[in-house]
Structure 1
Amino acid sequence: MISILATSFTSRPLRQLALACLLLPLSIPAVAAVSSSIPTQVQKALTANKIGRDSLGVMLVPLTGSGTTTAINADKPMNPASTMKLVTSWAALELLGPTYTWKTAFYSDGVLRNGVLNGNLYLKGGGDPKLNLEKLWLLMRDLRANGVQQITGDLVVDRSYFIQPAHSAFNDDGGDKNKPYLVGPDSLLVNLKAVRIITRAEDDKISVSLEPPMAKVRIDNRVKLLKRAKCPGWPDVRYNPVSEFDGITLIVTGKINAGCSSQSYISLFDHANYAAGAVRAIWQELGGKILGKDRQGTVPKQATLLASASSPDLVEIIRDINKYSNNTMARQLFLSIGAKARTSADQDDAQAAQRAIKQLMRSKGINPDQLVMENGSGLSRNERISANELSLVLQDIWNGPYAAEFTASLPLVGMDGTMRKRLRNTPMLGQAHIKTGTLNNVRAIAGFSRDRNGQTWAVVAMLNDPRPWGASATLDLFLTDLWYQPKKK
C-alpha cells in the first residue's frame, strides 16, 4: 500500500488523495494536507542565488503525528549525489541482513613442515569493505601463530569474488586521480588502498616515510627546510607519484618548518599490488619471509585453509558509510548485494545489484521508475532517483525492523559526520539524522528530522543546478522551517 504515495501529489485530485489517505496502513500516518509551496526563507535564498524552482526535488512527510506534507517536483528524476547511499544501505539491511559479515582468508596448496610452507600462499578476498591494516596484521599474526614462518612459493592474491562492471573512472573536479575518495571497489580491498605519507623535520633533517612501507616505492625527497619557530596549520608539502617499469617514484616537494611534520593520504597502487605490498611489509615485520613473486590467481579447490578473519557486521559498516560518506565502502556494499543476488542473466554485480534493489522496492509497493543506480555511492553523473522514491524508502525504513540501526548510521546535525559543522547554532542541534550529498552541480539532504512538537519527519531535498551557489545552506533552511511547525496546544 505504500505505492499509493508514489504518484505525484501535485497532480492528484483532492478526492482521490483523500481516498488514498483512508487506505494507508495504520503504521504510516494519514496525510492531512499536501503543499507545493516553497517556504519563505528558502525562496529568498533561492532568489538571492539565482536558482529556480525547477532545480528542486523535495518531499517532507510526517512520520508521527500530523502535519502538512510538502511535495515540490517530487516525481522528477534527480541526481542525488551521496544521498543514494541511503538506498544502498537500506537494501543491504533488507537483502543481506544486519549481522552480515565478509570473510578474508589465507590458503595454501603446499605442505607446512617445521615453519616452512612448501608451496604458494593465497590471499582470498571476500569483498570486505573494512579490511584495514590492523585487521590484516591480526590475520597474519594468526597465520604466524599457526606455525607459518617462511613461504617458498609465490604470494597469490585472489580477487575473483566480485564480477566488476566496466565503468569509466569518475573524477568530478578533474584533479588528482590519486585522491583516496576516488578509490574503486575490489574483492580484496585492503585499507581503502591508502598510503599514509609522513614528512618530518627533525635535527636539521627532513625524513619522508610511508605507512605501510612499500618496497616498490622510491622516495625522491626535495623538501626544503625553513628555520621558523611556528608550525603552519597546513604545511606546504606536495606529492607527485611517477610510475616506472619496476615501481613508483614519489617526488616530494615544498617547504616545512624545523620541528614540524606533515601527513597526507594518497592512493599509489592498483588493488593487487597494494594488497601484496601490504602483506609483504607486515610479514617482514613479523619476522617471516616469502621467497616467491607476487601474482594474481584463484585459490585451488584442494587448497588448505590456514587462517581467516571476518569483518565487522553490516550495521557497523553502514555507519562508516553514511556518517562519513565513504564512497569506496558504499561501492563495496553495492557489489556485495549484487554478488549475493547474481544470476546467469547478469553481466556483472552492479547490474545484479540494481535489479535486486528494484525488485525489493516493488515488493514494498514502491515504484522505482526513476531509479538509476550505477555504483550505489552517488559518486556518479548517471545515478538518478526522485524525491518521492527516496522518501518512500525512508518511510519503509521507519516502519521496518531495522529503523534504529539505520537511523544511528546517519550524521547528527551539528554534532558528527558530514553534518558536524552545519546548523550548530540553531535549535536543530542534535535534532535530526541527515545524510548529505555533494557534487559539482548537486546538493542534497535526506533523513529524519524532528520538529519542536516532537514529531518526526522524513526529509528529502535535492538541488540540481549548474551554479548551486549557497545551495547547502538553502537546503538546511528546509530543516529549520520544519522545526518551527505551529506549536500544538
Structure 2
Amino acid sequence: MIKLFRPFLVAGLLLPLALPGQAATVNTTLSPKVQQALKTNKLQDSALSLVMLPLDGPGNATVFNADISVNPASTMKLVTTYAALELLGPTFQWKTEFFTDGALTNGVLNGNLYLKGGGDPKLNMEKLWLLMRDLRANGVRTITGDLVLDRSHFVQPNLPQFNDDGGDVNKPFLVKPDSLLVNLKALRFVARNDGGKVTVSVEPPIASIRIDNQVKAVAGKQCKGDVRYNPVAQPDGVSVVVSGQLADGCNSQTYLSLLDHSTYAAGAVRAIWNELGGSIQGRDRIENVPKSARLLARAFSPDLVEVIRDINKYSNNTMAQQLFLSLGAQFRTDADGDDARAAQRVVRQWLARKGITAPHLVMENGSGLSRAERVSTREMAALLQAAWQSPYSAEFISSMPLVGMDGTMRKRLKRTALTGEGHIKTGTLNTVRAIAGYTRDSNGKTWAVAAILNDPKPWGASAILDQVLLDLYRQPKLDNSSTASVR
C-alpha cells in the first residue's frame, strides 16, 4: 500500500496537501495547555516561536510567531549537519598524516617528524595511538629532529570568545576548532582514595601538566563531590592544585581544557611515543609540511554519518564547529577570506538551490554556541521538511536524540507515550530553550516540529517545550477509510 502525498506552498512554508475529505488549515494559536505552561513559568506568549508540520498524513499545521528572528542555540547544528550530509556526502572522511624530511636507518629517523592535521573532529587518543603504532611497526624508534605540527588545513576566522555563564573558561565544551584537534583537547583528572592514600592522575599524561595533590583522606562511607581542581599557569606549563577531601574507596573525576591546541597535540604525541618505547630528540614547533616530505603513516576518521551522530545526540559544540569549517575548507574561494565565511556562503547557496528562502538565517560558527546566530522556526521547519525528502533522511533523523532514551533527551518525557517516538535535537543557552526534529503522533504519523523560546529568564521553559510535544502526540483518532491509497 502506497499512500499518496504531494506538497504545496502556503505562505512560504511547505505544507502537505489535504487528503480526501480533509481541509487544509493552519492553526495560528497555541493550545490551552501550552498557554498554561507559559503562564505557569511567567513567560509571555511572544517568547515562543512554533511550527508543527505533518509530513506523511493528515493534520493541521501550527504556525505561531514563525517569522521572528530567534537565537536557536544548539538546534543550529541541524542546519550544519544536514548541509554537510548533502554537500560532503555521508561517507566523507577526514585524514591525519605523519610525514618526514629525513631518512630511516636502523630505527633512527634522521630528520623531522611532521604531523599534519586535516580537521578531523574525532581524532581521539585511541586513533592517535593506532596511527603512531603504524609508525612504530614501520621501524621508527628514535627521531633526531623536531616534532613539527602542520595546522594549516583551516583558514581560521576571528570569532568572539563565547562563555554563556561567565564561569570556568576551561570547560571542554568551550574548546575552539582547530586543523589539528586532538581528543577535543580534554584532560581527565581522577582522584582516588585507596586504603587511606589519595592519588591523583591525569590522562593523557602530558609533561607540561603537573599536579599539586593536596587532597586529604578522611573516614566515612559516603562519597561526596568535595574535590576541587584549580589550574595555575606556569612559565613552562600548568600546575593543577587538587584540594578537598575524599573518603576511603571513593574517587572523583573531572574534565578540563587547560592547554592550547599545539601544546596539547605535541604533548599527546610525545606521551604516546614514550609509551611505545620511542624518543623525539628535537623541540616542538609549528610549520607547514614541505612539498618534498614523504608520507610515513595516515589515518582516516569515521564516516561523516558517525560524526554527525556525536554532534546531534550529545550536542558537541567543538565537533559542530569543526564540521562547519570543513564545509568552508572544502569549497573555499579566494574571495571568502576564511573558512567560516566560505561555509556561510556555501550553506546559503545550497538552501537557495533547494528553494528554501531564509532571510533570518545567521550562521557564525554553525554550532549554536553563539549570541549572533539566528533563524526563524518557519525556516527551520522548511529545512526539516526538505531533509525528510532527502535520500539521506534516515542518516539525518537517526543522528538526533531519541525522546526519553538517549543523548540530550534521555531524561525528558520518560515513562510517557512519547518515549522512543521522536528524534528531537535540543538547544540551551542562558536565554534560550529550543527543540527541533521529528516526532510521531498517536496515529503513528510523523511531524516536523521547531519550537524555540527566547527570553531573559527561560527557567522551567523545557516543560513548555515538552508540553508542545505531548499536545502534538494527542491527535484525533484517524478514520482509516479516509486515507487515500493505491495497491
Q: TM-score, normalised by structure 1?
A: 0.94
1:482 Cα shift? 0.6
Query: Are residues 1:86 and 2:75 paired?
Result: no
Secondary structure of the 1:32 match is coil
> Paired residues, what number?
472
1:49 Cα shift? 1.6
CA contact (8 A) 1:130 1:311 kept: yes
Matched ranges for 1:53-452 at <5 A: 53-232=45-224, 235-452=225-442
1:26 Cα shift? 11
Could you give the per-residue CA deviations for residues 87-130 of structure 1, whole angstroms, max 9, x where no partner exists?
A: 00000001100000000000001111111000000000000000
Secondary structure of the 1:77 match is coil
1:229 Cα shift? 2.4
CA contact (8 A) 1:99 1:315 kept: yes
1:3 Cα shift? 9.4
CA contact (8 A) 1:116 1:149 kept: yes
Distance 1:67-1:290 versus aligned 2 partners, 3 A rule: same
CA distance in 2 between counterparts of 1:378 and 1:83 reads 7
CA distance in 1 between counterparts of 2:23 and 2:197 reads 69
CA distance in 1 between counterparts of 2:269 and 2:256 reads 18
CA distance in 1 between counterparts of 2:465 and 2:294 reads 55
1:31 Cα shift? 8.0
CA distance in 1 between counterparts of 2:59 and 2:23 reads 7
Alignment counterpart, residue 466 of structure 2, candidates 453, 472, 476: 476
CA distance in 1 between counterparts of 2:41 and 2:309 reads 34
1:245 Cα shift? 1.0
1:192 Cα shift? 0.4
CA distance in 1 between counterparts of 2:351 and 2:32 reads 34
Q: Which residue of 1 aligns with 2:451?
A: 461
1:2 Cα shift? 7.9
CA distance in 2 between counterparts of 1:390 and 1:6 reads 15
RMSD: 1.7
Could you give the per-residue CA deviations for residues 38-85 of structure 1, whole angstroms, max 9, x where no partner exists?
A: 011110011122211211111100001111010011111110000000
Q: Which residue of 2 aligns with 1:13?
A: none
1:25 Cα shift? 8.9
CA distance in 1 between counterparts of 2:115 and 2:452 reads 42
CA contact (8 A) 2:381 2:450 kept: yes
1:5 Cα shift? 4.7
Q: Which residue of 2 aligns with 1:14?
A: none
CA contact (8 A) 1:201 1:258 kept: yes
1:6 Cα shift? 6.0
CA contact (8 A) 2:8 2:17 kept: no
CA distance in 2 between counterparts of 1:355 and 1:408 reads 27
Could you give the per-residue CA deviations for residues 157-205 of structure 1, whole angstroms, max 9, x where no partner exists?
A: 1110001111121100000000001011000000000011111112322
CA contact (8 A) 2:18 2:24 kept: no
CA distance in 2 between counterparts of 1:221 and 1:457 reads 54
1:225 Cα shift? 1.2
CA contact (8 A) 1:321 1:329 kept: yes
Runs of 4+ in 1 over 3 A off after TM superposition: 1-7, 24-27
CA contact (8 A) 1:412 1:432 kept: yes
Secondary structure of the 1:84 match is helix
CA distance in 1 between counterparts of 2:348 and 2:8 reads 13
Q: Which residue of 2 aligns with 1:43?
A: 35
CA distance in 1 between counterparts of 2:143 and 2:228 reads 38
CA contact (8 A) 2:196 2:218 kept: no
CA distance in 2 between counterparts of 1:148 and 1:314 reads 32
CA contact (8 A) 2:231 2:238 kept: yes
Q: Mark the runs of 5 or more structure 2 residues left unpaired by the alignment.
A: 1-5, 480-487
CA contact (8 A) 2:17 2:24 kept: no
1:4 Cα shift? 3.5
CA distance in 2 between counterparts of 1:158 and 1:399 reads 40
Secondary structure of the 1:325 match is coil
CA distance in 1 between counterparts of 2:7 and 2:238 reads 54
Q: Which residue of 2 aligns with 1:17?
A: none
CA contact (8 A) 2:117 2:153 kept: yes
Task: Report sequence identity in percent.
Answer: 62
CA contact (8 A) 1:414 1:429 kept: yes
1:206 Cα shift? 1.3
